[in-house]
Structure 1
Amino acid sequence: MFLSGSQFLFGSKEAASNGRFPVQNDANILTCGELFSGCGGMAAGLTQAGLRHEWMIEFNAIACQTLRDNWHAPWRSQPLTIMETDVRSVDWSSIGTVDIVAGGPPCQPFSKGGRAGGENDPRDMWPEAIRAVKHLRPRGFLFENVKGLLRPAFSEYLQRILDSLRRAGATEPDSPDVYEVIVVSVNAVDYGAAQKRERVLIAGVRRDCGKLEPFPERTHSVERLVWEKWVSGQYWQRHHLAHPVCGPTSRIEKAALRKVERRGVEPQERPWMTCRDVFVGLGEPAVGSGVSGHQLRAGAKAYPGHEGSPIDEPAKALKAGAHGVPGGENMLVDCSGAVRYFTVREAARLQGMPDAFVPAGSWSQAMRQLGNAVPAQLAEVAGRWIRQCARGQEDNEGKVRK
């Protein structure tokens, strides 16, 4: 479920007091360091999962300003360090160790919408992710990337990445693997994001610290959404709308409804979240809107292959755009078929960011940051999972044994 700004404020005293942030004794908290932090989507989810960030590293100056503006934490005993630098220049011997290393290496080398240069693309930063794990030897790590990384063209490189992560920190060529590693293919919409965003997670746990458990089963489903839309009508009732007589129009919903009708059993998962679900309370955008980042931007046009996202479905994956300007998919299609650009606030909600979150820069810069972000809802699920896997044994006082 989307967390509003009143429920989730980055580092605020209110957040510390309402139980949403882990403020217990430091010995009970797993610490985190994050590479390629962007505007903080993964960090938002990992914080919700109970991890405490010690440092973040990000190259882009505007994204770093977003982090500085939103990740203040006056209740912390030690300030969060935000390093605006190229990760290739980092001397890991000077960086404090953390329990979990996380991050999303740049996806452009492996994206279907990019040049697909893989390891030959100068933006490929997997070697730097491996270098960080090798030198820091964290209890566990969690990295995110596009589904394109699983394409056959990259299979050999992916295997080398996995082998390097398993051996990260090994002292001898014939010594046992240091980390247990897993590759998980997920869709953020199955874990509460109102966005069809397929991603790959590469995670590992140091063998002397814990054990990888199966990744959590999906919590949301299209089957439940079509049940509430076209069987029980709960979806329309929730939004105070008349029940349409047309039935589902999308191929995915039509197939899901046939499955539901064939089974004749009410699905027990939560429904996929739709754009309408997460935009509740915002109202229509306007030039002078009083909601931060919810100003109307004109000029949206649909064209073949870029038709936008219907309001009563999860959004298509937000895109950053090759040159910083979002493509035609970052649009909403209303009930009449009219299209308009998502506002910054709507894009932030689609990524699971709170209304207190304000990205720095222009509209294009803000949308690019959000288009590159990890959905916070998915990051929270993954964070809770890796946190549990990496906790290992605890002593009688509940302190994590390092």
Structure 2
Amino acid sequence: MELFAGGGGLAMAVGRAGFRPLLYSEVATRACETLEANGAKERGDEEWIPDPGGPVPLVKGDVRTLDMNYLCGKVDVLAGGPPCQPFSLGGIAKGDEDKRNMFPEMFRAVREIQPKAVICENVVGLRRKSFEPYFQYILRELSYPYLKRDPDSTWQEHDALLRSYDAGLRDGRSSDPSGGHELYDVVATTVNAADYGVPQIRNRVIIVAFRRDLGVDVEEFKRSVRPTHSYAALVHSMRKGDYWERHREIRGHAVPDHVRERVMAGLPKQVAFDTEEASRLPWRTFRDALAGLEGEPPLPQDLWSYLDRKEHRLGGVTNHIGWPGARIYKGHTPNELDRPAKTVKAGVHGVPGGESVMLTDDRVRDASVPGGWRYKHRYMTVRETARVMTFPDSWVLEGPRGEQMRQLGNAVPVLLGEFFAKAVANALDNARSTR
């Protein structure tokens, strides 16, 4: 079951891990249109469970009005990314006092459906020092979701109750009448998506919880979600030449010498490459994404004659549309092709930091810059942004460009979600009980 489904990144990821979706919930109109374009069907008031391979029921609207009790005992995984604006560095950061904080709805869902596992993604701002006490409260509330908070109490008062109950369980003063059926073991992991094969620097918190009566080996799960890729391995690959040779083979021509020389000159003189680093794969870069990570064809890059906001079907893929007016300036620097992209944000043009702008391999003479050459830049297309978020080209995005970019910026990168969902699946498969 997927709450806050958005444009479908986490839902797709959990599906790839082998779970069959029973319900999507989403409030944003354009995101709902995207979900419907990719196989979901509006459920309406009638509650029903889909057949294998059938359309996924989609409930549109405020999740606070959604009754989930009919799915109790039928859900293996509850997944979702509660709206992150309360904790985001890009928002006003009111945290738990912000009415957009939807963690209480995740806890309500856990109480109503008692899933075997929970996967929750959120911004790394949740781990800021000022929010750390509330973050720990979130973890405790997910551990004991049936100890419902009194509407008239503060979160601090509820947290004190949870702390006392937790201490009582540990020393035998408290008892669990459910036999572990309503208790959860919680693991919180701070991740950089690039460390898991996503061609993007994206720092997030992944919270996973397992129902305690299942006997999941939590320590083994923690080991299973260690990073698989590294920056040091990327540097090593570039210095050996493997990275450049791979792109020559994909494109049929080499990356221009002046680009390769510039990138190599910017690499650190020394980078740790010990046994652990040697066991990891190289970070994937923006260039890797544009070349195609999972069998997709390379995306055409020569869009200079097509910056007209029109779909020219370049390369035969949708949403690869040139957009005029890109600018770079101090504090608004572009993505470089031979690094992971910057964090995709839920904005269109004016996002701080230049996250929607890219520096290309093309250059023109310019006596005003050092070296006499200036590299050309442009806006990333929606499809290029989707590649950075590891959405397949077949995934349909609905709405105007701004809404498509917003859905992508709010999504979970598919490969990151898939990695953690597969780890959850393996943990459940290996648990001593699968009740």
| TM-score in same-fold range (> 0.5) | yes
Aligned partner of 1:401 in structure 2 is 434
- Provide the C-alpha distance between the structure 2 equivalents of 1:359 and 1:275, rounded to a whole number of angstroms: 21
Tell me if the contact between 1:210 and 1:389 (Cα under 8 Å) persists in the aligned partners: no
CA distance in 2, matches of 1:245, 1:348: 29
Establish whether residue 289 from structure 1 lines up as the match of residue 296 from structure 2. Answer: no
Matched residue type, 1:200: V
What CA distance in whole angstroms lies between the structure 2 residues aligned with 1:108 and 1:324? 19
| Counterpart position of 1:40 | 8
Query: Aligned equivalents of 2:51 and 2:22: distance in 1?
Result: 14
* Inter-CA distance 389–266: structure 2 relative to 1 (3 Å threshold): closer
CA distance in 2, matches of 1:53, 1:188: 24
**Equivalent residue, structure 1, for 2:20:** 52
TM-score computed with the length of structure 1 as normaliser: 0.82
d(CA) in 2 for partners of 1:308 and 1:69? 32
Q: Give the TM-score normalised by structure 2.
A: 0.76
- In structure 2, do the counterparts of structure 1 residues 324 and 330 end up closer, same or farther at CA, with 3 Å as the change threshold? closer
2:145 counterpart (164, 168, 173): 168
Shift of 1:223: 1.0
CA apart distance, 1:95: 4.1
Match of 2:242 among 229, 234, 248: 234
Pick from 224, 227, 252 the counterpart of residue 218 of structure 1: 227
Deviations 1:219-263 (A, max 9, x none): 11111111111x21111122222553345455xx42xx50247x6
Match for residue 92 of structure 1?
Answer: 68
Shift of 1:69: 0.3
Partner of 1:389: 427
Does residue 1:201 correspond to 2:215, yes or no? Answer: no
Q: Partner of 2:96 in structure 1? A: 119
Between 1 and 2, higher relative CO (CA 8 Å, sep ≥ 6) is seen in 1
User: 2:81 is aligned with what amino acid?
Assistant: G
Q: Which ranges of structure 1 fall in alignment gaps of 5 or more residues? A: 1-32, 395-399
Q: How does 1:5-24 map to 2 (within 5 A)?
A: none
Tell me: CA distance 1:199–1:76, structure 2 relative to 1, closer, same or farther (3 Å). Answer: same
Aligned-partner Cα distance in 2 for 1:297–1:247: 26
Unaligned runs of 5+ in 2: 42-49, 149-161, 166-173, 249-253, 292-297, 364-374
Equivalents in 2 of 1:388, 1:170: separation in Å? 29
2:328 aligned with 1:302, yes or no?
yes
CA contact (8 A) 1:326 1:364 kept: no
Letter of the structure 2 residue corresponding to residue 268 of structure 1: S
Quick one: structure 1 residues 324 and 59, their matched pair in 2 at CA, closer, same or farther if it must change by over 3 Å? farther
Aligned-residue identity in percent: 37
Give the helix-richer structure, 1 or 2.
Answer: 2
**In the TM superposition, what is the alpha-carbon distance from 1:343 to its structure 2 partner?**
0.6
Deviation at 1:40, TM superposition (A): 0.6
Instruction: Work out the number of aligned pairs and report it.
Output: 358
Contact 2:4 2:80 in 1 (8 A): yes
1:314 alignment partner, SS class = coil
SS at match of 2:332: coil
Corresponding residue of 2:56: 80
In the other structure, the counterpart of 2:156 is: none
Kindly indicate whether the alpha-carbon contact (under 8 Å) linking 2:263 and 2:338 is maintained by their aligned counterparts in 1: no
Counterpart amino acid of 2:434?
R
Q: For the Cα contact (< 8 Å) 2:82–2:122, is it kept in 1?
A: yes
What's the CA shift for 1:325?
A: 6.6
Give CA deviations for 1:137-183 in whole Å, capped at 9, x if unaligned.
11110100000000111112112211111112369963347110111
Name the CA distance, whole Å, in 1 between partners of 2:351 and 2:319.
16
> In structure 1, the residue corresponding to 2:330 is in which secondary structure?
coil
Matches for 1:333-372 after TM superposition, within 5 Å: 333-335=359-361, 336=363, 337-372=375-410
Instruction: Give the equivalent residue in structure 2 for 1:136.
Output: 113
Say if 1:332 and 1:339, in contact at 8 Å, map to a contact too: yes
CA RMSD of aligned residues (A): 2.6
- Counterpart of 1:313 (choices 326, 333, 339) is 339
2:313 aligned partner, one-letter code: S
Aligned residue for 2:18, secondary structure, equals coil
8 Å contact kept, 2:7–2:408: yes
Query: Match of 1:289, as an amino acid?
Result: R
- C-alpha separation in 1, matches of 2:57 and 2:387: 26
Quick one: distance in 2 between partners of 1:158 and 1:265?
31
Residue identity opposite 1:53 in structure 2: P
Determine which structure has more spread, i.e. the larger CA radius of gyration. 2
Question: What secondary structure, in the 3-state scheme, does the structure 1 residue paired with 2:271 have?
Answer: helix
Candidates 234, 245, 266, aligned match of 2:261: 245
Q: Which amino acid aligns with 2:328?
A: A
Does the aligned pair in 2 maintain the 1:62–1:360 contact within 8 Å?
Answer: yes
> What is the alpha-carbon distance in structure 2 between the residues aligned to residue 166 and residue 63 of structure 1?
31
